[in-house]
Structure 1
Amino acid sequence: MALPTPNLYPPFNIVRLSHVEFGVSDLAKSRAFYVDTLGLQVTDESSDAIYLRAMEERGHHCIVLRKSDKIEARDLGFKVFGEEDLDKAVQFFESKDLPVEWVERPYQSRTFRTRDPHGIPLEFYSKMDRLPPIHQKYALYKGVKPLRIDHFNCFSPNVDQSVAFYNEIGFRVTEYTEDAETGRLWAAWTHRKGGVHDLAFTNGRGPRLHHTALWVPTPLNIIDLLDLMATTGWVSNIERGPGRHGISNAFFLYILDPDGHRIEIYCSDYQTVDPDLEPIKWDLKDPQRQTLWGAPAPRSWFEHGSLFAGIAPRDAELAAQPIIAP
């Protein structure tokens, strides 16, 4: 299937991805991973939740850890330009017969929940409490020195349909993988903020959350994190990398938190602001598509993901398979 023509005038305007909440089994263990090891900053903490932000972020949180009997990912959060866009977003989702529920969220103004046609739970708001800048408080920089949340990647049972839906609300494709035999999309990278992606889709049993990515200053920070994880009890949580992606050209590392939520540590991709930027096409069987250099991805990278709360995944419609490490 052909890529849809980019919609430069969507029904409402999304600024960027914003945040995600994880259900976790042990807050203390998760705190040791996200705060003591990765270096995210605690902005609020209670007996059942921890709110975190990265060093360049002024919004109150980018990740929420909530103690839960269910290990799951909850709503993927997106910020819209203003209150008018929030109301337009409601009208859009209602016009698609998708559920809209206004919810109370700490540190956020008016917020509503909905889902996409495959069931990915979404959350939209226009204002979050702003915090004082800390990007020059270098004494606070710890771990991998995370600067900001960068993107989500989700398993989709039908990537063509996912791309078509998000294209309608203004997400533009930067790179994509096509299965040569069927002409269908196996994966696609889409953005709002001018990086390679805010939201990517990978063919697979879904919807499930494949990973959440944190942007870091340099590849050397990733090497430092590997040394830290290898000597502080986290070596078995290193899943894939380091390496450089073909798609996005980014330096990467994939790690798993104590409950198996996958985090990508990510840097060095490129700018995609121009509205007439042409997407880059990759063949599924190109070994440098996923890894320009470095070891091929292990089987777990194609099969493991976080369940979304209350959503039953289904098998992918496309049976094509990429290169998998032995």
Structure 2
Amino acid sequence: MPVPAPNLYPDFNTIRLSHVCLNVSDLAASKTFYTDILGLQVTDESETHVYLRAMEERGHHCVILQKSDLPGTVEVMGFKTFDEADLNKAETYFQSKGRPTSWVERPYQGRTLLTSDNMGIPLEFYHKMDRLPPIHQQYALYRGVKPLRIDHFNCFTPSVDESVAFYSDFGFRVTEYTEDEQSKHLWAAWMHRKGGVHDMAFTNGKGPRMHHVAFWVPTPLNIIDLLDLMATSGYVSNIERGPGRHGISNAFFLYILDPEGHRIEIYCSDYQTVDPDLEPIKWDLTDPQRQTLWGAPAPRSWFEHGTEFVGAETRESELKASPIIAP
């Protein structure tokens, strides 16, 4: 199935991904992991919520940890629009696609539209978020893996073809994709708004579920430092995959699990994709360097474990093709 042509003039203008709200059972344990181990900065906290940002971010938060009766789930994924008018356009757009829409109150955000994609992934769009003073040169604050910014989401979907078509229609552009040569269906795809390899990616599998949320770090050495820290501070079993380099995106990567089972990728070294006529790169599912240019193959858990979205019903994928899996 061919990758859809990019819609360069969508009904509304999404700038980038913005934040994610993760549901947890033990707020203190999760806060310790995200601050002392990863190195995110607390911007506010209460008995039920912890708000965090990375070192280069001026917006109030990129991660919300929410104490919940549904721990290990994802509440919502957030995106920023170009201006306020785009929010009304987005409401009209999602309604035209038969998706539910409502206006919700979110701390530290302006008007926020809550909706969902064609698979049921809860999405929210806003334009204004409280701005905070810059801290990227306050080097005494840097710790853990020294995360600079949130980079992307990756989600399991039962139909990558359908997910890609939906996001392409409102302006996301495919940078790289994996096609199963036998069925001619997409097995995975990487889509962006901000000019990197991806803001949102989709992987074939039972879904919708979140595969991972990723954070950009300055260098591969930061990832090595994180591995040393996790191995000597009680988190060695939370290391799932890596380090290594992806063929897709060219990223130097590490995958870890937080205390609630949410997967996190630590990520650097991808490339610029701002040209609107940039041709997407095609990969064959059987290419061994597709997912791992070098490094150990991904373990089975990397293809099977994900965290569910609140309110979204999951279903199995009909595409049964399989990539290389570590024994």
TM-score range, shorter chain: over 0.9
Q: By how many angstroms is 1:74 displaced?
A: 1.2
Query: Aligned ranges for residues 27-106 of structure 1 at < 5 Å?
Result: 27-71=27-71, 72-106=73-107
In 2, Cα distance between equivalents of 1:219 and 1:65: 27
* Residue type at the aligned position of 2:267: Y
Deviation digits for residues 94-126 of structure 1, max 9, x if unmatched?
Answer: 111110011000000000110011111100000
In 1, Cα distance between equivalents of 2:11 and 2:156: 25
**RMSD of equivalent CA atoms:** 0.5
Secondary structure of the residue aligned to 1:85 is helix
Matched, 1:211 2:199: no
In 1, Cα distance between equivalents of 2:179 and 2:267: 24
Q: By how many angstroms is 1:25 displaced?
A: 0.8
Matched, 1:130 2:131: yes
How many residue pairs get aligned? The number is 326
Q: By how many angstroms is 1:272 displaced?
A: 0.2
5+ residue gaps, structure 1 = none
Give the aligned partner of residue 14 of structure 2. Answer: 14
In 2, Cα distance between equivalents of 1:133 and 1:317: 47
* Residue type at the aligned position of 2:159: N
* Residue type at the aligned position of 2:77: L
In 2, Cα distance between equivalents of 1:203 and 1:101: 29
Matched, 1:281 2:282: yes
Q: By how many angstroms is 1:317 displaced?
A: 1.7
Deviation digits for residues 54-74 of structure 1, max 9, x if unmatched?
Answer: 000000000000111212101
Report the TM-score when normalising by structure 2. Answer: 0.99
Deviation digits for residues 113-150 of structure 1, max 9, x if unmatched?
Answer: 10011111100000100000000000000000000000
% same residue: 75
Q: By how many angstroms is 1:8 displaced?
A: 0.5
* Shift >4 Å, 4+ stretches: none
Query: Aligned ranges for residues 290-301 of structure 1 at < 5 Å?
Result: 290-301=291-302
Q: By how many angstroms is 1:197 displaced?
A: 0.1
* Residue type at the aligned position of 2:39: G
Q: By how many angstroms is 1:80 displaced?
A: 0.3
Deviation digits for residues 260-281 of structure 1, max 9, x if unmatched?
Answer: 0000000000000001101000
* Residue type at the aligned position of 1:44: D
Secondary structure of the residue aligned to 2:301 is helix
Give the aligned partner of residue 117 of structure 1. Answer: 118
In 1, Cα distance between equivalents of 2:5 and 2:278: 12
* Residue type at the aligned position of 1:200: A
Give the aligned partner of residue 256 of structure 1. Answer: 257
* Residue type at the aligned position of 2:16: R
* Residue type at the aligned position of 1:84: A
In 2, Cα distance between equivalents of 1:215 and 1:314: 31
Secondary structure of the residue aligned to 2:4 is coil
* Residue type at the aligned position of 1:6: P
Secondary structure of the residue aligned to 1:296 is coil
Give the aligned partner of residue 266 of structure 1. Answer: 267
In 1, Cα distance between equivalents of 2:6 and 2:313: 30
Query: Aligned ranges for residues 218-237 of structure 1 at < 5 Å?
Result: 218-237=219-238
Give the aligned partner of residue 239 of structure 2. Answer: 238
5+ residue gaps, structure 2 = none
